[in-house]
Amino acid sequence: MTEIIYKEEVYEAVGACMEVYNSLGFGFLEIVYKDAMEIEFAEQGIEYYREKEYPIIYKSNKLRRTFFADFAIHDKIIVEVKACADGIPEESLAQTINYLKASRNKVGLIVNFGKRKLEYKRVIF
């Protein structure tokens, strides 16, 4: 039997996102959902960092460019927030995998607030 990595942490993050979605619905810009998620994570006692910066390493060299994860929760799960009416964009998966590589984390969560129903995708690297 395969064990699900960070099952409880992802579950609580999705629960916080559902709370935000149930309150705001769909149709706002990404930044609105990020602001609301920050409040919700804090209220639920979920350890988070917003816009956490990660270096990008190439052949043992730190590049000048870095990336900023929308959220890092429990310092081990990358959360990417979207507000796309057409669903989770295909390029978001590649983006999240690259973020996982750079951050050396194993689990990512893409959350899309842009449709009539909250969408989320768990990404494992």
pLDDT, tens only, 75-102: 999 999 999 999 999 999 999 999 999 9
15: CB partners within 8 A, 6+ apart = 44
Flag whether 36 is in a domain: yes
Print the domain residue range for 113.
Answer: 7-124
CATH number, domain of 120, equals 3.90.320.10
Which residue in 75, 71, 74, 83 sits closest to 109, CA to CA?
71
3-state secondary structure of 119: strand
| Residue 1 falls inside a structural domain | no
| Domain count within the chain | 1
Quick check: is 2 in a domain? no
> pLDDT for 5-39, tens place per residue?
999 999 999 999 999 999 999 999 999 999 999 99
pLDDT at 1 exceeding the cut of 70? no
- 39 domain residue, yes or no: yes
pLDDT of residue 3: 83
